[in-house]
Structure 1
Amino acid sequence: MRLGGRTAGLCYALAAGTIGVLSLSGCFTERQNEGAQLYTTHCASCHGDQGQGLERLIPPVAGTDYVARHRAELPCLIRKGLKGPLVVNGVEYNQVMPGHEDLTDSQITNLLNFLQTNWGNQNQPYTIREASELLGRCNGSDGQ
């Protein structure tokens, strides 16, 4: 069946639009899961695959008061690490946490948003602007 010029053009435009939307949805899906992937790569070996921590050695990140109460410090904690004691859910921990200088501001934002909204944590997600501004306080923002 032969299509007229106008109809054929419309069909090509719709097909191109559909392909474009499918391509974009793949990008968003990948970025949407980035926080979980980053957690698995950079955090799970210490904090556990479900954020449960390790006894009284390494604090949990699942269902913790610390994630909610220390929102402003969390971006720098991920970028620069932590030395010294902290209290999570009433338990004191005092281990060294390495920093992750290799992560971009965007990756830190996605990682934090994964923590903020999973495993019983029901906190407000970060915007990239907020995370970058907070990282600026510890000279940790890379502007990306």
Structure 2
Amino acid sequence: MRYFYILIVAGLLAACGSGKESTDGSDQEMDHRTEVRLRQYMVQGKRLYLTHCANCHQKNGEGLAQLYPPLAKSDYLMSDLKRAACIIKNGVEGEITVSGRVFSQPMPGLETLTPIEVAEILTYVSNSWGNEAGISSTRDVSIWLKKCND
């Protein structure tokens, strides 16, 4: 009977696979976690965008005439996400050129937003309307926001 239990335990250990397969599963799990987090950021980011940003930049991200620049397929947004995080939080004044058009309407900052809220908005706008940037992590955005005035 004792040998029977040893055989069962050995069989179970063999069925569990090697450590390498377990590591590969962790990589897949990490990818899954990132996908879930991206979806969460997109949902929350959309909610925050509609509350704080859509009035000027419009629900479809196309901006408003010559007053407010588009975020959809925006070269200005996508060329520097660090700068975009600072603009969301602190606003911007002066001329900017977006997709070949000049805009000079000042944008007020959303100073009360937390780093995670800035990350969620940034993730939403940088992955909507033809933009593709992946997730802007809260950790990265926190670092970027500390360096805004540098």
Instruction: Check if 1:122 corresponds to 2:147.
Output: no
Question: Is 2:77 the counterpart of 1:70?
Answer: no
The number of aligned residues is 112
State the distance in 2 between where 1:119 and 1:72 align: 20
TM-score, scaled to structure 2: 0.70
- Structure 1, unaligned runs of 5 or more: 1-27, 140-144
- In the alignment, the residues of structure 1 paired with residue 66 and residue 57 of structure 2 have an alpha-carbon distance, to the nearest angstrom, of 11
Which residue of 1 is the match for residue 56 of structure 2? 46
Q: 1:91-129 deviations in whole A, cap 9, x for unaligned? A: 010011010011100000000000111110012321111
Match of 1:56 among 66, 73, 79: 66
> How many Å separate the matches in 1 of 2:52 and 2:88?
10
Pair 1:88 & 2:108 matched: no
Greater RCO structure (CA 8 Å; 6+ sep): 2
Distance in 1 separating the partners of 2:41 and 2:145: 21
Q: 1:60 to 1:32 in 2, by over 3 A?
A: closer
Aligned letter for 1:106? I
- What one-letter code is carried by the residue in structure 1 that aligns with 2:68? I
Distance 1:94 1:46 in 2: 13
Aligned-residue offset at 1:72: 1.7
The change in CA–CA distance for 1:32 and 1:117 in structure 2 (over 3 A counts) is closer
Query: Is the deviation greater in 102-111 or in 63-72?
Result: 63-72
For 1:99 and 1:127, the matched residues in 2 are separated by 20
Identical positions, percent:
36
Question: Which runs of at least 4 in structure 1 moved beyond 6 Å after TM superposition?
Answer: none
C-alpha root-mean-square deviation of aligned residues, in Å? 1.6
CA distance in 1, matches of 2:146, 2:48: 21
Counterpart position of 2:121: 111
